[in-house]
Amino acid sequence: MTQGGSLPSRSPAAAPASARSWLIWLTAAFVYILAVFHRASFGVAGIEAADRFGVGAAALATFTVLQVGVYAAMQIPAGVLVDRFGPRALLSVALVFLGSGQILLAVADTYSLGLLARGVLGVGDALTFVSVLRLAANHFPARQYTLVTSFTGALGFAGSLAATLPLTLLLAGPGWLPTFLIAGVVTMLFVVVVQWRVHDSPHVRVASTESVPMRDVGRQVLTALRVPGTRLGFWTHFSTMFGQNVLVLLWGVPFLVQGQGYAVTTASSLLAVFVIGAMVGGPLVGSYIGRRPEARMPMVVTFLIASGLTWTVLLSWPGRIPLGVLVPAFAVLSLGGPVSAIGFALARDYNPLPRVGTATGVVNVGGFVATTVTALLIGLLLEATGGNFRIALLSVVAMLALGSWRMAVWWRRARAAVFAAEERGEPVPVQLRRRRWDACVPVPDRVAAPV
C-alpha cells in the first residue's frame, strides 16, 4: 500500500508457485526448524542449566528473557536487512550465529558465558523467520502466502518436537557438551546447502535490491507502522502466541515437574502436545483463512476466548491437574502459533512487496515482546512466592487481557480504514459487512488496512 492510500501491486504472478519454488522454500524452512530447535532447547534443559550454572528461578528466566529479548529487538532491523540484502544472504548469516551460539553454550561453564551464548543464538534466531517469510512473499502469490506461512510455522514446530523428549534423552545420555556441540556444528554446515539451493526470487539466485539510505530506514519503519493492518498484525501476534511460548521455551517443564509433581520424561512428552497441535493446526488454519480471508479476525477472537477459558481451568484446578485435563488444554493453547500467522498475512496484504520484510518484522516483535515480559514476570513471582506456579502464571492471564484489548482497538480501526477505502473506490481484498460497533471509529491516515 502506498503512502497515499492505494493498495500495493504485487510482483509475484497470480499463478500458483512452481515445484522449484516449493523446494527453495522447504530448504529455507529447514533453517527455521533448526532455529526453533535451538530456541526451544532451554524448555527441557532448564533444570540442567540451573544445576550447571548454580542459579535460581529468576536468573534462569534471564536466559530466555535475554534470548527472546534480543529476538524481539532485532525483528525490525532484520526486516529492513532482508528487504535490503535478500533472504538468501540473511539465512546464511543466521546459521552462522545459531551454530556459534550453541557451540558456545556447549562449552560454557559460567553464568555470564551462558548468557552470552544465548544472546548470540538470539541474533541468529531473529534473522530466520522474517527471511523465510520474505522468501515466501517473493515466490508465492498472495492466495498461497497464508498457507505457506502456516506450513512454515508447522514445520518449525518439528524443531520444538526435537527439543522435547529426544533432547531430554540426549542430555541424560551423552550429556550437555556433546549434545549442544554437535547441534551447533551441524547448524553451521547447513550454510553450504542454503548457498547451493536457495534463490531470492523465482528468476534469479540473488535479487538486486535498491540501496536504502540510513536516513530513510526509520521512515520506512514508520510508514509500515502507519498502516493499520500492521498494527493489527502486531497485536494479533502479541496476544495469540506468547502463552504457549512461555511454556515451551522455559516454564513448561518446571511447572509440570516442580509445580505438578510429574516426572521429567512425562513433562517433556506433554510439551510435545504443543508441537503436534501446531503441526496439525497450522495447515488447517492456513488453508481455511486462505480460502476465507474474512474469517481471519473472527478466528483470532475465538482463539483468545478459548485461551482465556483454558488458563482459567488450569489455574483454578484444585490439587494436581490430571493428564486428561492437561492434554486437551495444551492442545487448545498449541493453536496460538498457527493463529498468530494471521498477523503476517495482514502485513503482507497491505504493504508493498519492497516493505513486506519490514512490516513482517514489526508484527513479529509482538509475540516475542509478550513472551519476554511474561517469562520474566513468572520468574520474579516464583522467587517472591517461594515457587507458587498458580500465582506466577497469572502473569499469562494479565498479558492475554492486555493483548486482547489492544487487538480489539486496532481491529475496529482497521475495519474503518477498509470501509473508507471502499468509499474512495479503492479495491480491497476482503469484503466486510458493517456492524453497529463500526460506527464512530477514527480512520488512521486514510490508509486502508485488512481485517
Round to whole Å and give the CA distance between 280 and 415. Answer: 30
Cell triple for residue 26? 522447504
Burial class (CB in 10 A: 0-12, 13-18, 19+), 421: buried
Single-letter code of the amino acid located at 332: V
For residue 208, is it within any domain? Answer: no
pLDDT grade for 7, boundaries at 50, 70 and 90: very low
**What mean pLDDT is predicted for residues 220-245?**
88
For residue 8, is it within any domain? Answer: no
For residue 25, is it within any domain? Answer: yes
Round to whole Å and give the CA distance between 42 and 68. Answer: 12
Cβ proximity of 364 and 130 under 8 Å: yes
For residue 5, is it within any domain? Answer: no
Cβ proximity of 159 and 33 under 8 Å: yes
Round to whole Å and give the CA distance between 117 and 42. Answer: 12
Cell triple for residue 121? 543464538
Cβ proximity of 343 and 234 under 8 Å: yes
pLDDT grade for 9, boundaries at 50, 70 and 90: very low
Helix axes 264-291, 296-316, angle to 10 degrees: 160
Residue 43 has pLDDT above 90, yes or no: no
CATH number at residue 152: 1.20.1250.20
pLDDT grade for 1, boundaries at 50, 70 and 90: very low
**What mean pLDDT is predicted for residues 138-147?**
78
pLDDT grade for 223, boundaries at 50, 70 and 90: confident
pLDDT grade for 358, boundaries at 50, 70 and 90: confident
Burial class (CB in 10 A: 0-12, 13-18, 19+), 345: buried
For residue 210, is it within any domain? Answer: no
Q: How far apart, in Å, are the Cα atoms of 392 and each of 28, 80, 257, 261, 337?
A: 37, 36, 15, 17, 22
**What mean pLDDT is predicted for residues 241-260?**
87
* Amino acid 213: pLDDT: 60
Helix (H) or strand (E) holding 148: helix 142-162
Of the chain, the end-to-end C-alpha distance in Å amounts to: 15
Provide the number of structural domains found in the chain: 1
For residue 71, is it within any domain? Answer: yes
For residue 432, is it within any domain? Answer: no
* Amino acid 94: pLDDT: 95
Single-letter code of the amino acid located at 204: V
Of 64-68, 122-126, 132-136, 160-164, the least confident? 160-164
Burial class (CB in 10 A: 0-12, 13-18, 19+), 431: exposed
Residues contacting residue 202 through CB under 8 Å, at least 6 positions apart? 12, 17, 18, 20, 21, 138, 139
Cβ proximity of 152 and 63 under 8 Å: no
Residue 212 has pLDDT above 80, yes or no: no
pLDDT grade for 324, boundaries at 50, 70 and 90: very high
Cβ proximity of 105 and 57 under 8 Å: no
Cβ proximity of 164 and 301 under 8 Å: no
How many CA atoms lie less than 13 Å away from 254 in the CB half-sphere?
28
For residue 207, is it within any domain? Answer: no
Round to whole Å and give the CA distance between 21 and 16. Answer: 10
Segments forming the whole domain that contains residue 375: 19-202+217-427+441-446
